[in-house]
Amino acid sequence: MARVTLAPMTRTASNPSRIPFDLAKARKPLFHALLEARDTFGGGTLALVDGDGRTLSYDEFIRACFVLGDALKKGTRNGEHVGVMLPTGLGAALAVFALSAYGRVPTMLNFTSGEAGLKSAIKTAQVKRIITARRFIELGKFDELDAALKQVADVIYLEDVRAKLSLGNKFAAVMGAVLPRNTAAKPNPKKTAVILFTSGTEGEPKGVALSHENLLANVAQVRAHIGLSENDIVFNPLPAFHCFGLNVGIILPLIAGIKVVCHPTPLQPREIVRRIHSSGATILLATDTFITQYARAGEADDLVSLRLAVCGAERVRDETRALFRRKYEMDILEGYGVTEASPVVAANQIEANRPGTVGRLMEGMEARLIPVEGIANAGVLEVRGPNVMQGYINPDKPGQIVPPPGGWYNTGDVVSIDDEGFIAIRGRMKRFAKIGGETVSLAVVENCAAALWPENHHAAVSLPAPPKGEQIVLVTDFAGARRVDLLAWAQNHGVSELAVPRKVLTVPALPVLGTGKIDYVAVQKMAESGPV
């Protein structure tokens, strides 16, 4: 489960507007949608700013896609899954669209998942070739990982490709400029456009196959739900291997005619604050973990240009909301997304904001709730719509796409939906504990800890505890955390003592994934091994 949070400021972009949702306009290949954007907004319009300040217009970006795509297609076949292992920036954006221009399927590899995770992903998606960059390998100190990947796939470096561009490759760029729609591949929009992987927070990652129509439908849904302006500037430091960073952070701005400023890592708060200020960015993409760091690193006027701060992947804490309201005069609107839905499922709106909920469904989607024993007035959320994935590619069946039954995707999230359609997340189905015959949400346990120790991070997991079922363990980076303090807080605030963890484990830092989301698999191992 991932959340999307929109934090609008009192300032507004000039003429932000919603584009009425029209699914028919999403039924086209991804690269052809880019060509239409160039025609609509102008070839000379600035499209993307890289981490080093390099800029490309639509014409320059598309020309680069044709020349690079023609070079990368050698030795591959139409429809082949080609790995992309690059940080957020011009290289990643070009690789995705260049591969797409020639009918290949970019497969986004999570370079933070380690050798075992990457090799599993490569096998699952049947990747034979990986696109990366020597400078990325050098700066990320991925030399050992690079060597390991060469054991299972061909590794291609962008620097080498550029150095060896042939006259034929350059001619392809000329033809692409003259006859772009005749030069570019024309895959069926319902065919796979990109493969991403689940975060692995609760088990082994699976491949998620998203079609051209899935991605573009979600772009259209967001544009119909949230007012955007051609004068907006998106600042995106989120990884391109994350659906939010890819579709909302790269594809949507390029399709919507909005300049995107890319940053290669979300882990540089001072540099990110500086670049937001200097670029005049109006929309920031982040997670709660990262945006808290940016807020603390910046001065009150550093984020003055922002009108929306868009956070995904994890729940935004009340402390984050209070910090932004106090320091930057920003109120937070929360939403919800999953990789399997390309990713945005629901979001609050400026004029329809209900704190404590994640807003209403995107247009064109349906939702239903599956009852859960022991949890009243809520159920497991299932969704269906044009943005819902083609299906999973499971590690035990490499290359095979298994579609969701009847088109319904089971999110695994327990939610309630009120009479006006506002969705409130109660927690992951897997993140409820059975204690003394009662069902207890681990998210509630974390919320209690956050209320008591707001400056720190907390994660709750459950362990077997016969004969009562399970016991809750809180893992926290607050060195002075004590169970007795949590118990006192619960008693003073009318919270059931069942939501007070049986044990508390303090650690120097909670493990997180590359997206900033808490790594619950690692937290579970911490709780199991102790000391507690």
**pLDDT one-digit tens code per residue, 180-196:** 999 999 999 999 999 99
User: Which residue has tokens 């050698």?
Assistant: 74
Which pTM was predicted? 0.88
One-letter amino acid for residue 428 of the chain: R
CA distance 366 to 14: 33
The secondary structure of 364-426, three-state, reads CCEEEEEEECCEEEEEEEEEECCCCCCEEECCCCCCCEECCHHHCEEEEEEEEECCCCCEEEE
Identify the CATH class of 436-529.
Answer: alpha beta
Identify the CATH class of 32-41+55-188.
Answer: alpha beta
Contact 378, 371 (CB under 8 A): no
Would you give per-residue pLDDT tens digits along the chain (532 residues)? 454 445 544 444 556 788 999 999 999 999 999 999 999 999 999 999 999 999 999 999 999 999 999 999 999 999 999 999 999 999 999 999 999 999 999 999 999 988 989 999 999 999 999 999 999 999 999 999 999 999 999 999 999 999 999 999 988 888 888 899 999 999 999 999 999 998 755 556 899 999 999 999 999 999 999 989 999 999 999 999 999 999 999 999 999 999 999 999 999 999 999 999 999 999 998 888 888 899 899 887 889 899 888 776 677 777 887 888 888 887 767 788 999 999 999 988 878 888 778 899 999 999 999 998 888 899 999 999 999 999 999 999 999 999 999 999 999 999 999 999 999 988 877 777 777 677 787 888 888 898 899 888 899 988 888 766 788 999 999 999 999 899 888 888 888 888 898 899 999 999 887 767 788 888 888 888 876 4
User: In degrees, to the nearest 5, what angle opens at C-alpha 519 toward C-alphas 267 and 395?
Assistant: 110
Locate the domains of the chain by residue range.
Answer: 32-41+55-188, 436-529
DSSP annotation of 350 reads T
Task: State the burial class of residue 531 (Cβ atoms within 10 Å of its Cβ: 0-12, 13-18, 19+).
Answer: exposed
Return the bridge partners of 472, or none. Answer: 462
